[in-house]
Structure 1
Amino acid sequence: MNFAQLLFPDFSLILCGYLVCRFTKLNRTVWEQVESLVYYFLFPVLLFHSIVKSPLDLSAASSLVGAAISLAVGLIALSYSLPHWPWLGKRIDVRLHAASAQVAFRFNSFILLALADRVAGPQGLLMVAVLIGVCVPIFNIGAVWPMARHANRGFARELVRNPLIVATASGLVANLLGFSMPYWLEPTVNRIGQASLALGLMAAGAGMQFGSMATAKALAVAVLAIKHAGAPVLAFGLARLFQLDAVQTTVLLTFSAVPTASSCYVLAARMGYNGPYVAGLVTLSTLLGMVSLPFALGVLGSIP
């Protein structure tokens, strides 16, 4: 399978979002509202529907969940350890590291959800929905904790107000209780899901910023290396360790190789940290995803 060709439609939508935002009247003010629509309504509907429309076998997904949690914990630990590396620690500003560490392990759910169905089908989309429900709280804690520690702010409210977590938790409960979507509502919900993927990808492109990247180059290289090289390799090793099947391995590799979350910038800026620097990291991560995804799926995924 030619993964570069498979991924081209999704990255072309990212490019369209970038060009439309930069060269038309549909500027960042417009796309900020689109991001809110996707994040607070369209994506939660997609996640809820993806979970409830298929019976969920938690025992069958336990190995994948275990591998994903191990991946999450490993990446968080690795990103936290950067100030303690003997050749790098002295060159890292503590506050800048607190803001940018999240880039090394968070993921862009817009891109992940768009890719899941393309690379692994409906079963893959269901697995991704489960991984989002399990890993988003872990990643949010990992992202907020170092900044909250330096800024003396809590993070519990950030977790319970996350719409993706709420939608996933609701979907899991509804699935286990045997709820199914009414047939007359299915076409509407399906169209909402399709709209969420296209708008989410374009919003990711519109949010790209080449910010102040001249400072802390070593930190930027280290964070992005963990995200786009370390994460896929670690995911591949965990897939072997947990004996995942082919579909589960593809889902985990996709999960590990997608660009970082665009909300990294929002979170850093909202908590009083260097937003432009983090925005630059997010932009570079989005571009590097064009390399890490074919590497993870085409190279690592093809190893017998």
Structure 2
Amino acid sequence: MLFLTIWPLFALICAGFLLARKGFPAEGFWPAAERMNYFFMFPALLFSSLARAPIRDPEVLRLGVAAVALLLIAAALLAFARWLRPAPAARFGPALQGVLRFNTYLGVAAITSLAGSEGLSRAAVYLAIAVPLVNLLSILALSEGGASGRWRRLVRTIFTNPLILACLAGIAVALAGTGLPFGSAALFSLLAQGSLPLGLLCVGAALQPQALRQDMAALAGIDALRLFAMPVLATVVAFAMGLEPVSALILVVFSAIPTAPTAYVLTRQLGGDGPFMAGIITSQTLAAVLTLPLVVWLFRLVGGN
């Protein structure tokens, strides 16, 4: 039953990969579709979900604290590993992103399939907290010296990120308690319905299988940390924080999905190892077809849900 819930998400990713390789509908379509979704449709989904989210619910606060704790613990462990075995920022940055970042389209789609509208609202809260933090950690990991320029870049990246801006706007509406007036909820609902399918198709279109030909051992190690070690750590944090089942599921799923395709863009912008980052994204996305259902099944077995 769990596999039947998740496999359509990966079917869309595979469809996007095949369509892009066939050049359909046109060579320039997929970059334009990704930009449309990233700057317009997906922010509309996050904004409308957060506008309706129970922001003042103590469980939401616990989920936020758990998200911060999980990411900071994982980042500290990676920094310790780098201290034991030094690596340049060009390599450490992609490795950290491969372990900490997450594919928002796949994560939201998976949570919506597994936990419905309640899961979507809480997932939006998780993203409002985790997206700025992982961006901050990623930029720090990719930067070697140049503190002044680094902090300018950090501020610019975070406060021009459409997902972060949509989350902030949604939280403001939720705190104000005004809701979405003048029938705008229906508009945002229409945009949201198209966002996730288009996003998953674009994920598939961006895969680069040729990047798997190098650094196989490093890719396997980072994939194991992301797809197995992170969900285990998330489960420990969820139980330690006493999260409710839906919140715990969100923490685990967002720790078990592959890293974000946008990590490649950031890596290239900051002078990191682009082919290495592309290999991480591609290998994790392919492996998650098998690992994500397994992780969710094991989590439900351990949690008794």
- Paired residues of 1:211 and 1:277 also in contact (CA < 8 A): no
Equivalent position to 2:92, from 93, 97, 100: 97
CA distance in 1, matches of 2:230, 2:172: 30
Give a deviation string over 1:195-242, Cα, whole Å, max 9, x none. Answer: 001100101111111244444334322222211111100011111111
Q: How does 1:147-158 map to 2 (within 5 A)?
A: 147-149=142-144, 153-154=149-150, 155-158=154-157
User: What corresponds to 1:285 in structure 2?
Assistant: 284
Aligned-residue CA RMSD in angstroms?
Answer: 1.9
User: What corresponds to 1:140 in structure 2?
Assistant: 135
Structure 2 unmatched runs, 5+: none
Number of corresponding residues: 299
- Secondary structure class of the residue paired with 1:285: helix
Shift of 1:169: 0.8
- Secondary structure class of the residue paired with 2:272: coil
Shift of 1:54: 4.1
CA distance in 2, matches of 1:64, 1:234: 15
CA distance in 2, matches of 1:215, 1:55: 46
CA distance in 2, matches of 1:270, 1:26: 28
TM-score, structure 1 normalization: 0.92
User: What corresponds to 2:116 in structure 1?
Assistant: 121
The amino acid of 1:294's aligned partner reads P
- Paired residues of 1:253 and 1:301 also in contact (CA < 8 A): no
CA distance in 2, matches of 1:94, 1:190: 41
Q: How does 1:143-182 map to 2 (within 5 A)?
A: 143-149=138-144, 153-154=149-150, 155-182=154-181
- Secondary structure class of the residue paired with 2:59: helix
User: What corresponds to 1:106 in structure 2?
Assistant: 101
Q: Is 1:64 equivalent to 2:63 in the alignment?
A: yes
Give a deviation string over 1:252-297, Cα, whole Å, max 9, x none. Answer: 1111111110001111112222212211110111112223321221
User: What corresponds to 2:21 in structure 1?
Assistant: 22
Runs of 4+ residues deviating >6 angstroms: none
CA distance in 1, matches of 2:277, 2:35: 20
TM-score, structure 2 normalization: 0.91
Structure 1 unmatched runs, 5+: none
- Paired residues of 2:111 and 2:119 also in contact (CA < 8 A): yes
The amino acid of 2:290's aligned partner reads V
- Paired residues of 1:50 and 1:129 also in contact (CA < 8 A): yes
Shift of 1:80: 2.9
User: What corresponds to 1:238 in structure 2?
Assistant: 237
CA distance in 2, matches of 1:78, 1:220: 18
- Paired residues of 1:28 and 1:206 also in contact (CA < 8 A): no
- Identity over aligned residues, as a percent? 29
